[in-house]
Structure 1
Amino acid sequence: MSVKNKGNSVSNQSKLWMEDALLKLMQAKNYHEITIQEITDNAGLSRRTFYRNYSSKDEILEGCFYKIWLEYESIIRKQIDLTLPNIARIFFSVMKKHFDFLSLINRHHLLPLFLSKVDELLPPAFDEVKGEKMTFPKENIQYALTFSTGGFMSILIRWLNDSTQKSPEEMATVVKDFVSIFNYSNPVEKQISHETRFNEK
């Protein structure tokens, strides 16, 4: 993300106004039809101010995603239990706090922007929190992280679209179960495989 003027209090206030303006426009209009001029007009700012802070309107949303990520990451860093179900519980606890925003983003089919942001932010955070203890090849870890982020984003979309959202604790159970599902081996198939190996001897 190439958002400009980080740490400037006047700039930060301008960003908040532009975030608010964009999200309000998205309530009534297709995201791809919203212009920079409409954002700045609704925020009471100039186009010059917009381009001092952003290169595109996508970066406004990326800034929102980044704040959600920082909230999630700050909780993860305090955890001793880094199993997938507990990570899921924390993930959906944070997502639940931002449900209205994420539902709006999902309605406009913009969650791939969030996925792109997480793909960028997860590897360094993983290395710091867990990576030093891993003995797997670095490339394999990168594939695993890509699988993880894609999987969680797909589950997030399904969760947002569900008419009755499961609680973070229920989602932790779902993730625990699908790990078991992937590891499941049919006892009959195991018996056939064993008999085949035995007959080959």
Structure 2
Amino acid sequence: MSLYIDMLPSDFKVSNVFMTNDTNWSECVSLRESMYRSNNPSALRSQTRIINSFYQLLNDTAYEEISVKQIISKSQISRKTFYRNFDSKEDVLISCIYKILSAYIEEMHTQSEVTLSWIIEQAFRILEHNKNFFQLLQRDNLLYLVLNVINREILDEHFSLSDQKSDFSRYIVYFNVGALFNVLSLWLEKDDAYSADDILRFLSDYMTSGITKNLKSPLVI
């Protein structure tokens, strides 16, 4: 099976909020405080080693075939150190997904209105900056984890804080986000059949005018 991400050079450094081919996974830590066992420098170094090692293994090995033992061996840490920082290999992976989405979540909270067009634009922005990572998840049938995070940590949280009380509006938002997620998955699968700008333009035109034109008010979550 072909790989989609080059091996991480030893001198990789975090260059921006989003992960790119030049991004060190050292900052792939969950937004959820429960995922942190400690924030002291030693623990953060251990997390960095664990995540970078996991990332390298993921390039060479299917996710299901990766064991905690392999991660520990490649990281050159003790079993105790691993479980002090993460509960499982899935915990490591989920923490990376959270970090990728962290900027989106933070920016969403600054928006007076989170429109459908904004969601589409941000989704493609994230996907383009992290395309290789998401292709690895797709390779191993793990993209559903991303949707789980979006549903649980973004949509559910927003609706809990929103003034909107309509169950109908919530169904519409979940419908559109689910549809968008499938389109993004197809775009990853086809890989370069269309540019992100082409897909973004089409979806923006279709979903904002084609779907919402019959609503009494703009679809806002």
Q: Report the TM range for the smaller structure's normalisation.
A: 0.7 to 0.9
Give unpaired runs (5+ residues) of structure 2.
1-31, 215-221
Query: 1:125 and 2:121 equivalent?
Result: no
Query: 1:160 and 2:188 equivalent?
Result: yes
Query: How many residues get paired?
Result: 180
Matches within 5 A, 1:51-70: 51-70=83-102
Structure-2 separation of matches of 1:75 and 1:7: 24
Using the TM superposition, give the Cα deviation of residue 63 of structure 1 relative to its aligned residue in structure 2, in angstroms. Answer: 0.3
Question: Which residue pairs with 1:196 in the alignment?
Answer: none
Matches within 5 A, 1:8-47: 8-47=40-79
Question: Which residue pairs with 1:174 in the alignment?
Answer: 203
Kindly provide the amino acid, as one letter, of the partner of residue 174 in structure 1: L
Report the more deviating stretch, 83-92 or 147-156: 147-156
Using the TM superposition, give the Cα deviation of residue 161 of structure 1 relative to its aligned residue in structure 2, in angstroms. Answer: 1.6
Kindly provide the amino acid, as one letter, of the partner of residue 205 in structure 2: K
CA contact (8 A) 1:89 1:171 kept: yes
CA contact (8 A) 1:25 1:34 kept: yes
* CA shift in 2, pair 1:50/1:149, >3 Å: farther
Kindly provide the amino acid, as one letter, of the partner of residue 45 in structure 2: Q
Using the TM superposition, give the Cα deviation of residue 121 of structure 1 relative to its aligned residue in structure 2, in angstroms. Answer: 0.5
- Higher helix content, 1 or 2: 1
Q: Of the candidates 100, 107, 112, which is equivalent to residue 75 of structure 1?
A: 107
CA shift digits 1:148-197 (9 cap, x unpaired): 44223212211212332533574154143145444689xxxxxxxxxxxx
* CA shift in 2, pair 1:110/1:94, >3 Å: same
Q: What RMSD over aligned residues (CA atoms) do the two structures have, in Å?
A: 2.6
Structure-2 separation of matches of 1:169 and 1:10: 45
- Aligned sequence identity (%): 24
* CA shift in 2, pair 1:178/1:148, >3 Å: closer
TM-score calculated relative to the size of structure 1: 0.76
Structure-2 separation of matches of 1:101 and 1:116: 17
Using the TM superposition, give the Cα deviation of residue 70 of structure 1 relative to its aligned residue in structure 2, in angstroms. Answer: 1.0
Structure-1 separation of matches of 2:114 and 2:170: 17
